[in-house]
Amino acid sequence: MLSAIITKVSRCIDCDKKIDKRAERCRSCSSKYKWNHVWELRKGLSVYYCIEEKCNKVVSEKNRRCGSCGQKERNQIPENCANFKDGRTLKEYQCKICEKKVSLESVLNGSGMCRSCSRIEVMKNPKTIEKISNSRKGKVVGRDNHNYGKTLKPHWGKYKDVSMRSSWEVAYGKDLDKLGIKWLYEPKTFDLGNTTYTPDFYLPKIKKFVEIKGYFSNSNKKKMKKFKKQYANIKLKILFQKDLEKLGVLYA
């Protein structure tokens, strides 16, 4: 004989409708119950509030706290917290490579690494390298590219209605004006064969180009070598952060 499985059905304490097992009243009775508290307050009858400071929510006579404050109190004890799960949420997790702090989600469902290390590892994957190389097939590089010789429009900030590429360039332009030195911004682009180069500033009085550099990448170094070989007679000065700080353009 099959034993009947008896499940407890929760019902509204006011109208006896079937409701969720976590609720006391159905939606309609719950809204009426809340409005009854408002009317009781207006009539001067007893109304009960959450005991937590700065909450002041209306609660039933048998409850000391509202739902949200009650949950916060329960969460103070780790074992009562809904997300406890053997204490795994209370532990601190570190990246496998650089030991930076990472989330539990990264450890359970991800690579267990921080974002930067994860990107580096992805780029080392042969499949990723193959996908990138396949996506670049057929793209025109060098002189045949329709953007060859065209510089991207600066958009970081403006000084004297001139759009510049960094705050350092803006600061350098202001410093030149303080010293009474005339300058032009990106007036000329030089052909380097399969690429081009546009210096940041040109100082007409001393006939010298000035390049403001933050991060000096390998591609930038190669471009500078090409420029010096092909245009050895043109003066070019590269200023880094330390140089700008010494000149008083930037302050450390």
Longest dimension (CA), the chain: 106
Q: What percent of the chain has pLDDT over 90?
A: 19
In a domain, 62, yes or no: yes
Residue 45's CB is within 10 A of a number of other CB atoms, namely 10
Q: Is the pLDDT of residue 99 over 60?
A: yes
Same domain flag for 235 and 205 = yes
The DSSP annotation for 16-64 comes to --B--TT-SS-HHHHHHHHHHHHHHHHHT---EE-SSTTT--EE-TT-S
Q: What percent of the chain has pLDDT over 70?
A: 77
* pLDDT, position 173: 92
Same domain flag for 69 and 97 = no
Asked if residue 113 lies in contact with residue 130, where contact means CB atoms within 8 angstroms, the answer is no
Number of domains composing the chain: 3
The last residue of one of the domains, among 11, 43, 76, is 76
Same domain flag for 72 and 105 = no
Same domain flag for 49 and 103 = no
Length of the chain: 252
In a domain, 201, yes or no: yes
Q: Is the pLDDT of residue 88 over 80?
A: no
In a domain, 5, yes or no: no
The last residue of one of the domains, among 45, 76, 107, is 76
pLDDT-based confidence at residue 11 (cuts at 50, 70, 90): confident
In a domain, 1, yes or no: no
Same domain flag for 97 and 72 = no
pTM summary value = 0.43
Pair of tokens at residue 1: 């004989």
Same domain flag for 202 and 174 = yes
In a domain, 52, yes or no: yes
Same domain flag for 203 and 240 = yes
Nearest CA to 250 out of 69, 1, 80, 241 is that of 241
Region of poorest pLDDT, from 1-5, 24-28, 45-49, 156-160: 1-5
Which sign does the torsion angle of CA 139, 224, 250, 180 carry? Answer: negative
In a domain, 14, yes or no: no
* pLDDT, position 151: 62
* pLDDT, position 185: 92
| Domain, as residue range, for 32 | 27-76
> Dihedral through CA 56, CA 58, CA 62, CA 67, nearest 10?
-80
In a domain, 106, yes or no: yes
In a domain, 10, yes or no: no
Q: Assign residue 210 the CATH number of its domain.
A: 3.40.960.10
Instruction: Tell me the average pLDDT across 63-70.
Output: 84
Region of poorest pLDDT, from 14-18, 88-92, 237-241: 88-92
Same domain flag for 174 and 228 = yes
Q: Is the pLDDT of residue 233 over 90?
A: yes
Residues 176-224 pLDDT 10s: 999 999 999 999 999 888 888 999 999 999 999 999 998 888 888 888 9
Same domain flag for 69 and 114 = no
